[in-house]
Amino acid sequence: MVPLKETIKLVVKLNMTKIKYLIVVLIVMCLSACQQKNNEKKYEKIQSLPFGSIKPTGWISNQIVRDLDIGITGKFNEISNTVSHELFVNSNRRSDTKYNGLKGWWSGEHEGYWKDAVLRGAFLTDHGIYKKRATQWVNDILTNLDDSGYIGIYEKENRYNHKGENGELWTKSRIIMPLLAYYEYTNDKKVLDAVEKSVKLTISHYNNKTAWTKGEGGVSHGIGYFEILEWLYRLTRNPLYTKFSEKLYADFCQAELRDDDLKTKNLINV
């Protein structure tokens, strides 16, 4: 048998070991909690830098200028006429009609892509010719808005009134991206005001109905509109944009769509 004295020493030793272990665990937990709290504080302060805060130099800048001057970026309208219809000025498309064999919204997305690329490249490299051209595009869109403030490709009777596939949200998002980039670079308040008016118009039409009508392609492409809502919230801190984002995403998750990989049930099914 182990003497009582030795047994007591062993128990004390074991207890001290547990106490030390417990102390170490508590210290780690406290440090982790403090670190998490600090990270949360840091995260609250993290903001996306406004467009133009960081500019390319050297070969990257030279490449962008070259793409504008002699490359596909600046000359795409000479390669394809799908970017040349000025759809966001004319707003004369119908979602149930094909144009030259193409779906009505395709040229809208092409025009948005192209103008975004040209505008950003021009301002990032201070390219005088294309900055002037991009500024004219912005002014043309704003000058031709009707009283509702609608920014989009569709004629009045067809807006927000689609029976199937449409590019309403998608094409809006592609042209509003360069408009917001232009606002951040120039601080031209009328551009932000115009975008906000247009987005609030869209929200008013989809607050009590879904934007995700049955169809293919163009319907699910509308997820691009979340970029606009996030950007506007970052600029204004207006909770209207986050609230509508939640509603829009809830509708998206319930809709019958071809491209459904971003639905919650599929995101968590890994």
Report the pLDDT value the prediction gives residue 96, as an integer from 0 to 100: 87
Specify if 49 maps to a domain: no
Evaluate whether residue 50 is within a structural domain: no
Amino acid at the residue 7: T
Q: Is 10 in the same domain as 66?
A: no
Handedness of CA 220, 234, 48, 127 (dihedral sign): positive
Sign of the Cα pseudo-torsion (160, 181, 187, 241, in order): positive
**Per-residue pLDDT reduced to its tens digit, 150-164:** 999 999 999 998 888
The reply to whether 68 and 13 lie within a common domain is no
Q: Quick check: is 163 in a domain? A: yes
Q: Are residues 71 and 183 in the same domain?
A: yes
Q: Is the pTM of this model over 0.85?
A: no
Query: Is residue 184 located within the same domain as residue 257?
Result: yes
Inside any domain, residue 51: no
Q: Would residue 210 count as lying in a domain?
A: yes
Instruction: Output the pLDDT for position 3.
Output: 53
Task: From first to last of the 270 residues of the chain, give the pLDDT tens digit.
Answer: 545 445 444 444 545 555 455 454 445 455 555 555 555 555 557 778 999 999 999 999 999 999 999 999 999 999 999 999 999 999 999 998 999 999 999 999 999 999 999 999 999 999 999 999 999 999 999 999 999 999 999 999 999 988 888 999 999 999 999 999 999 999 999 999 999 999 999 999 999 999 998 777 788 899 999 999 999 999 999 999 999 999 999 999 999 888 888 999 989 876
Q: Does one domain contain both 22 and 91?
A: no
Same domain, 34 and 131: no
Q: Are residues 35 and 125 in the same domain?
A: no
Q: Which two tokens stand for residue 54?
A: 């960081």
Whether residue 69 sits in one domain with residue 20: no
Full residue range of the structural domain in which residue 91 is found? 58-267
Q: Indicate whether 108 and 218 sit together in one domain.
A: yes
Asked if 3 and 79 sit in the same domain, the reply is no
pLDDT of residue 215: 76
CA separation for the pair 105, 226 (Å, rounded): 18
Same domain, 81 and 36: no
My answer on whether 254 and 194 are in the same domain is: yes
For 151, the token pair is 């920014």
Q: Is the residue at 52 inside a domain?
A: no
DSSP letter string, 109-135: HHHHHHHHHHHHHHHHHT-HHHHHHHH
> Where do runs of H (alpha helix) occur along the chain?
4-45, 58-69, 72-79, 87-90, 106-125, 128-143, 168-186, 189-206, 225-236, 239-254, 264-267
Looking at the structure of the chain, the number of domains it has is 2
Tell me if 46 is assigned to some domain: no
